[in-house]
Amino acid sequence: MPILVVLVALVGLPTVKAADWWDDFSNNLATDLAPFLSLFGEQITKQYLSESITYLDYFIFATAPMGILTAVVSAIRVCGSPSLRALIGRAQEGGGSAEAELCSSTSWDVCELFNNGGIARVFGRPKILEVVYKREGLTHEPKDMETATGSMKDMFAPNLSLNVSIKKPHQLVPPAIAVVGFVLQGGVIAFAVVVTYYLKWEKEGQLPGPYAGPSFIGGTSLLWLGIYLCAFVIGQSTEERIFERHGQHSTLYWLQPGGQVLGDQTFGSFAYNDNADPLQQYTTSWKGESNRSQLAVWGVVGITLSGFIFQFVGLRGIHSAISVAQLGAILVMSAARAALRMQRLKADSNCLASCGQDVLGHELDWLALDMGKKDIDEGLGSSSSTPSNPKLTRRHYWRFSGSADGVSFKKPPTPADNGARAARNLWAYRTQLARLTASPPPHVKMSPAQNFEAEMVQVRRMARGLANAIEAVSNEVYFKATLSDSTPHAANNCHWSFKCNIRHKESPLVPKVETDYTAKSTDAILYLTLHREVHGIKEVRSLWKLDQKEAIEAILGLWIWSLKSDTDRAVGFRAVGDQVIRSSGVPISKIVSTDQDNPRQRLEQWWQDQASPPYCYAAELKGNGVRDPNAIWNVSISPGIRVLRRFSDQCDHRNACTRVFGWHNARAEDPPITSVWLTEPPSTLIESCAQEIFGSFFRDIMDIVDDMGKVDVQVVQGKCRLSNRLVSDVLQTFADSELGSRHDGLLCIAPSIVAYQIRTKRTSLMDAAESGSLEAVALLLQDGHKSGTRLNAQNIKGQTALSLAAANGNEGVVRRLLEEDGVQMDLQDLGGRTALWRAAANGHSEVVRILVNNGGADFKQPDHDGRTPIIVATDNWHDTVVRTLLVLGQRRGFRTFQRGVGLQNPEHEKKANDFFDNYENFGYSREQSLMEESRNAQRAGNLKVALLSTGLAVNRAAGQWFDGLQAWPSSKNFIDGDNTDDSDGMGTDLARLLIKTCPDIDLFIAKVTCDRMGQGLSAHIVAKAISWCAAEYGADIIIIPLGFDGPQPEIETAIKHALEGGRPPVLMAAVGHDRMRPYPASHQHIIGIHAVDGEGRDIGISPAPLEDDDNFSTLGSGIEVSWEYSTPVEHGSPYATVVAAGITTYLLDYVQQVATLTEEDRRWLRSPDGVRELLRLVSTKQHGYRFIAPWEVWGDDVKAEEIGNLVGAIVRRRKKA
């Protein structure tokens, strides 16, 4: 189309001789300067186009234009099709190149960065942060990430050129330039009309041809329109949003992390804000969707080229004065356009220019301090935010100072003073900056330009590891250690308090040694919060998590930058003289111990992997009680010791200096520290700061630990080495979090572990005795004075090394301790328990024998509850211990349950009586319901129940119990002979209890043992009894109120054959009596019964419930018996098993009357699976167990018909399965 226009124009021109035209052209080259000048001007055209976003910008650009070719080519590059771009040799050019050169937008491909005083548009996705800070009205409470950034999903990198690079002129200037341009261009046209048609100036002696005037006027108009449209299509390819400022209370910040490499360029750190000159309009620009018609682009190109050709031809034919006038207009408008963009960002506008390379990686920390400097000044009571001396600069600092009040589970107080609020505000600023620049969750869309890589923030990787370590250690301590009674186990929030220091200091820009510094500072206490969620009705609590992990980065970043940017005079080395070295270069020392009495003894014992502990040296501190990791100490050497003086003007600047970490090893309540043991770790400043925070947190959380678990002791290279599961896990967490090596971790936590040992009065001898390390015990006793071993020392619970060894059954250790002179056998702990008592309670018969025979222990010594060793052994079914004590001189019957001892107390008896009252009322109400609903179904007959026990009493008193039975219980002796008489009484007790629970049964007693302690109990006899009861007697339910320590093959076979018979019986067994799970109750096909009180509460004798088991339980304590050889009240899982069996037989009889069942259904309901389903139906969850109490489920308001329907549904569900 442009070629066609040119041809038409040439045809319409008057015919001239080719030679004359060429002569005129060459002779009048000066007059052609105006059109040629307007044709070129590439760079200034691109610059103006890339910063044009308004119609007024387009108008100014089109008036007396320069760079016509560039404008046409630019329009094609931005909006043209591939075929159109091929005409200019740009067919393979991507959209990013054209956008970077010609558009005002930023996108996924194009970004703007500060580079050596200017703004560069570059390719790629560099990182730059743009934030708005409004100090007034901030609450500094954590905001929801998604809510706060939900509107940012379409944002790209910030537009620096539109908002930072160019200082916008007064709002009247652009319209004025547009008017001037219009007047100039219009004046040139008017001048052409006057000269040509009124003054009729001649050109080379002849009047201009008739085509010249119209061609110039029309061409200039077409050219203006074409250039305007070129700028228009380029400008409208982007979309802009402009925000107007309302008020002057907010500040815009732009922050560019240094060290970014794009292509061959490295971009430095950059920060800028509009605090001094508030930005009145904020503009964002992004590339829009390209839906413009290509025909329109062709039209724009055609109009522009046609206009230029007609203008060029007109200028050639018209008087030369017009060309000069047009040239003047072009020059004037070019200068005007340049003036609009002349005020640019100054080279010294970079706020980070004075920080040099030190700020690299700490840009966010600098920004947070810059935002909060007014908070700090107000917090320190400064009336002015500017230095008192104009030659000085005021620097601001935020520094971590150690732990404060430890760990708390109460809501922390709100900061009351300005200093604390200022410290919290700065922490909040830096935390929010960390959140803004971190990788967002997948559901949150944010600009990739502000997602800083971990390498761009110097502390980010270390802070993430530290945050993970704090969370992991919190969970390890909370779930693996025994916490103090004051610690709320159901708490969902945990708050760790720490101290920080805010400070400002006026000093020269370039620090000097002999300069006085004016500084103000104050301390504040802040709180780091961990929380855990509660899920579901069961209130299952999740793991501890930090409320804001970014808060750790804020602490670490602000602290380290404050240290690095501190201009304190850090004295140099001798060779350095008065030279000032930066705080980041100060050597680091670490406190190992503040104890001067054998300081390394305890710490060395925790050293692992056969590695030598670090070299330590003694040092004397002269700092007026200062405990601050931020202080710098001047080091001098005195005979035999190093002296550290806090850095001051009186220090000798020629001496060495150091920064001391490890202050968490000394508590605030301790007396002023005057001497310490130090080491010089190989850690960097960042590692040392992170380890200081971790060590402070660990020290505080260990303060809520009462027992961190068993400590194992080994002898390595002639020295005792301690290990503990919790300590090992914490060290592994430390190493996995990349906070340092395991040796660094030991330096952090070992002093806290030693402090825990001192607080709990736990000695290495106790640990060795408890773990059973005879070699370590011997070594510690041999070198007792050096190791500080005290034989009869008691820990915080009153336990001694002997009692711990006895409780764990460590026979060799007990013998070795008894060999020592002065050992006290009968020292009691806080519960009144002696070493013998603890050995008896845990079933260690050999230790009991050793203590009595070798040490003469008093086995009559009761605890504070009145239980002697033999009583507690009997309570816990440790018959071997009981027999050992009897042989050793204390003759006592097996039945030791007396009123007021152990579980025999009025509270348990009352609950048991209430249980039976509820059960009786339940049976009565069920019978009433049957009669009211006219249900007269016939019973299926009595169920057969077999009880394996000690036999059945045949005397008259016992016989009175069974007068109400339809038939006298049958019995059989499976031990020897035919005598089934119960000489122990337990079998009779259980039989009576079973009849009391359900009298409508046929009862069979199988005598398998002669005493309740199981003396002479044989697996063969029990197996024979189970097989006979199942095959010969045809029992529906077999009760096994006894157990073995582990599986018995003969019993296993008997159970298998019984269950494979034609009518498998239901086998019910007692689940332990000393928190152990015996056999056969542990068999998968046995219904195990746990003993609880009458309300379903654990009474301390049943093992913990299993996840994959029904864990049935019922009444097993406070049960009254009245046989002549029995105690008045009994307890235990055998009684609970009998009660459960009685309730089961009654329920089977009842539900078969109320439910419509086939004979097959009845058989299934009486099977082990059917009984399990029935017991699940009538039990309720209580403390992890299924408490069998049918009245809790089927109250008086539940009708028999409803129960029948429910049972029928269970049967139908079984059939579908």
Q: How high is the pLDDT of residue 885?
A: 74
pLDDT in tens, 227-286: 999 989 888 888 888 888 887 678 889 888 988 888 778 888 888 888 878 888 888 888
Q: What is the pLDDT of residues 758-785, one digit of tens each?
A: 888 888 889 999 999 899 898 888 876 4
- Number of domains into which the chain is organized: 3
The CA distance from 857 to 839, in Å, is 11
Residue 966 has pLDDT above 80, yes or no: no
Residue 1145 has what pLDDT?
A: 93
Same domain, 971 and 1113: yes
Residue 751 lies in a domain: no
∠ CA 771-774-777 to the nearest 5 degrees?
85
Proportion of the chain above pLDDT 70, given as a percent: 80
Gap between the Cα atoms of 200 and 39, Å rounded = 28
Domain housing 516: 353-565
Give strand pairing partners of 120: 113
Residue 365 lies in a domain: yes
Q: Quick one: pLDDT band at residue 85, thresholds 50, 70, 90?
A: confident
Q: What is the average pLDDT value for the chain, to the nearest integer?
A: 80
Is 208 found in the same domain as 87? yes
Do 324 and 404 lie in a common domain?
Answer: no
Q: Does residue 522 have a pLDDT over 90?
A: no
The residue type of 445 is K
Q: Are residues 306 and 367 in the same domain?
A: no
Contact between 95 and 109 (Cβ < 8 Å): yes
**Which of the four pLDDT bands, split at 50, 70 and 90, describes residue 555?**
very high
CATH code of the domain containing 1117: 3.40.50.200
Do residues 9 and 36 share a domain? yes
Cα–Cα distance measured from residue 553 to residue 486, given in angstroms and rounded to the nearest whole number: 31
Whether residues 330 and 467 share a domain: the answer is: no
Residue with tokens 């299993």: 1106
Considering only 319-328, 682-691, 1012-1021, 1165-1174, which range has the smallest mean pLDDT? 1012-1021
Mean predicted confidence (pLDDT) in 635-655: 62
Q: Which segments of 795-905 does DSSP mark as H helices, in order?
A: 801-807, 811-818, 835-841, 845-855, 869-875, 879-887
Whether residue 373 sits in one domain with residue 316: no
Alpha carbons 961 and 1076: distance in angstroms, whole number: 33
In this structure, the answer to whether residues 46 and 83 fall within a common structural domain is yes
* Strand runs labelled E in 107-181: 110-115, 118-123, 129-134
| Residue 653 domain flag | no
Cβ-contact 341, 193 below 8 angstroms? no
Q: Is the pLDDT of residue 903 over 60?
A: no
1035 and 1140 inside one domain: yes
The answer to the question of residue 668 being in a domain is no
Indicate whether 835 belongs to any domain: no
Per-residue model confidence as pLDDT tens digits over 931-959: 666 454 555 678 899 999 988 876 534 44
Looking at the domain assignment, is residue 301 inside a domain? yes
Count the Cβ atoms, other than its own, within 10 Å of residue 1116.
32
Distance, in Å, from the CA atom of 25 to the CA atom of 20, rounded to the nearest integer, reads 9
According to DSSP, the residues that pair with 518 across neighbouring strands are 506
Sheet of 518-531: strand order equals 393-408, 493-507, 518-531, 545-546
Nearest to 201 by CA among 33, 321, 316: 321
From 40-44, 75-79, 463-467, 570-574, the region with the lowest mean pLDDT: 570-574
In terms of C-beta distances under 8 Å and separation of at least 24 residues, what long-range contacts does 27-31 make, across chains too? 28/316, 28/320, 30/320, 31/315, 31/316, 31/320, 31/323, 31/324
**pLDDT digit string, tens, across residues 121-159:** 888 788 888 888 887 755 545 444 344 444 444 566 788
314 and 441, same domain (yes or no): no
**Domain assignment present for 132:** yes
Buried b (16+ CB within 10 A) or exposed e, 917-955: eebeebbebbeebbeeeeeeeeeeebbbbbbbbbbbbee
Residue 229 and residue 162 share a domain: yes
Of the listed ranges 113-117, 587-591, 615-619, 639-643, the one predicted with least confidence: 639-643
Question: Residue 569: what pLDDT?
Answer: 45
CB atoms inside a 10 Å sphere around CB 133: 18
Tokens coding 63: 């008036």
DSSP secondary structure letter of residue 1124:
T
Show which of 284, 314, 347 is a domain's final residue. Answer: 347
Cβ atoms 1097, 1190 nearer than 8 A = no
pLDDT recorded at residue 539: 57
Q: What are phi and psi of 1125, to 5 degrees?
A: -95, -5
Per-position DSSP letters for 1061-1098, written without gaps between them? SSSPPEEEEE--SSS---BTTTSTTSEEEEEE-TTS-B
Same structural domain, 964 and 995 = yes
Q: pLDDT of 708-726, one tens digit each?
A: 888 888 888 778 888 889 9
| Strand partners of residue 1004 | 946, 970
**In this structure, are residues 230 and 71 in contact, taking their beta carbons and an 8 Å threshold?**
yes
Neighbours of 96 (CB within 10 A): 15
The CA distance from 970 to 1028, in Å, is: 13
Give the whole-angstrom CA distance, residue 687 versus residue 685. 5
- Find, among 887, 905, 842, the residue nearest to 869 by Cα: 842
The residue ranking higher by pLDDT, 881 or 421, is 421
Percent of the chain with pLDDT over 90: 20
d(CA 620, CA 624): 12
Residue at which a domain ends, from 514, 541, 565: 565
| pLDDT tens per residue across span 601-615 | 777 788 765 456 667
Joined tokens for residue 1166: 């009486």
Distance CA 833, CA 739 (A): 44
Q: What is the pLDDT of residue 1119?
A: 85
Per-residue pLDDT band at 1125 (split at 50, 70, 90) = very low
Q: Which of 950, 1007, 970 is nearest to 1125 (CA)?
A: 950
Sign of CA dihedral 90, 93, 98, 100: negative
Higher local confidence (pLDDT), 410 or 675? 410
> Which SS3 state, helix, strand or coil, does residue 522 take?
strand
Cα 1153 to the chain's mean position, in Å?
Answer: 58
Which residue has tokens 């009486």?
Answer: 1166
Rounded CA separation 792/784 (Å): 12
Q: Could you report the per-residue pLDDT of 445-463, keeping only the tens digit for each?
A: 556 667 788 888 999 999 9
Residue 15 pLDDT greater than 60, yes or no: no
* 1039-1076 pLDDT per residue, tens: 999 888 788 999 999 999 999 888 899 999 998 755 56
H or E element that contains 1039: strand 1037-1040
What pLDDT is stored for residue 800 in this prediction?
93
Please provide the distance, in angstroms rounded to a whole number, between the alpha carbons at the two ends of the chain. 82
Single residue among 536, 565, 594 that ends a domain in this structure:
565
In a domain, 429, yes or no: yes
Secondary structure tally for the chain: helices H, strands E: 41, 36
Say if residues 809 and 847 touch (Cβ distance below 8 Å): yes
Coil/strand/helix, residue 886: helix
